[in-house]
Amino acid sequence: MNLTICPMTEADLDAVLAIETVSYPLPWSRTHFLDELGSPHAFPLVALDQDGKLVGYICPMLVIDEGHILNVSVDPARRGKGIGRLLVEKVLAECRDGGAEFVSLEVRPSNVDAIALYKGMGFVETGRRKRYYENGEDALLMEYIFDGEAGFDAI
Ligand SMILES: CC(C)(COP(=O)(O)OP(=O)(O)OC[C@H]1O[C@@H](n2cnc3c(N)ncnc32)[C@H](O)[C@@H]1OP(=O)(O)O)[C@@H](O)C(=O)NCCC(=O)NCCS
């Protein structure tokens, strides 16, 4: 698939929210995404297909030497085609180039698709946050640790 990854802008938010609302029980609001767009540490990205249609997005942060992924979502009709992996790879490359020592994230233990994606890319489990989610579910903490050699296909 011919995909372009580029910075998210306010003009993307209708398409972003259309995916967000079908992806999570408690979706982020437009205001939440606007806050990301205005944050000096955040660099939200979108994936566009060959027709310019927004098919996924990712919201990462880089604070000094710590990267964090807050949200990654793909259009349900386009999942399983490598879009999520490409978005995470791009963020790993940006964080590595920006001086990060690791990139962390939280994920629901029940989210087997996302966990498979992260483990397949070299993320490891580093802990749990008890009752982190609104339904009382714990969060699994995962980290990708840079060891001087990129363990992913850097873009
Ligand atoms: C998680 C998510 C972003 C993955 O995006 P995607 O584009 O479907 O993922 P990819 O096609 O890049 O898959 C990459 C890897 O993830 C794993 N994976 C993805 N979907 C999977 C599925 N349905 N079943 C099992 N593994 C899956 C596989 O390891 C896959 O590697 P492979 O293609 O070599 O088999 C997507 O399912 C999504 O938007 N989910 C809803 C939002 C969400 O839960 N986000 C994560 C919050 S922590």
Strand order through the sheet with 139-145: 4-7, 45-48, 54-63, 66-74, 102-107, 139-145, 124-129
How many residues would you count in the chain? 155
* Half-sphere exposure for 96 (CA within 13 Å, toward CB): 18
The 10 Å Cβ neighbour count of residue 83 is 23
Judged by average pLDDT, the poorest of 59-63, 118-122, 126-130, 134-138 is 134-138
How many C-alpha atoms does 88 have within 13 Å on its Cβ side?
27
Mean pLDDT, range 78-88, rounded to an integer: 97
What is 4-145's CATH superfamily?
A: Gcn5-related N-acetyltransferase (GNAT) (3.40.630.30)
Q: Give residue-wise pLDDT tens across range 6-61.
A: 999 999 999 999 999 999 989 999 999 999 999 999 999 999 999 999 999 999 99
Say if CB 102 and CB 145 are below 8 A apart: yes
To test ligand 1's pocket by mutation, which of 21, 45, 103, 117 has the most ligand atoms within 8 angstroms of CB?
117
Q: Assign 134 a pLDDT band (cuts: 50, 70, 90).
A: confident
DSSP result, 61-99: EEETTEEEEEEEEE-GGGTTSSHHHHHHHHHHHHHHHTT
Given a cut of 60, is residue 149 above it in pLDDT?
no
All structural domains of the chain with their residue ranges: 4-145
3-state secondary structure of 118: helix
Nearest C-alpha to atom 22 of ligand 1 is from which residue?
113
Closest listed residue to residue 140, CA positions, set 131, 148, 149: 131
Pocket of ligand 1 (CB under 6 A): 23, 72-74, 79-85, 107, 111, 113-114, 116-117, 120
Q: What is the mean pLDDT of residues 128-146?
A: 94
- Work out the pLDDT band at 151, boundaries 50, 70, 90: low
CB-based contact 126:92 (threshold 8 Å): no
Task: Report the nearest atom of ligand 1 relative to the CA of 69.
Answer: 48
Report, as an integer, the average pLDDT of 110-122. 96
pTM for this structure?
A: 0.94
The mean pLDDT value for 94-102 works out to 96
Over 70: is that where the pLDDT of 155 sits? no
- CA 123 to chain CA centroid, Å, is 13
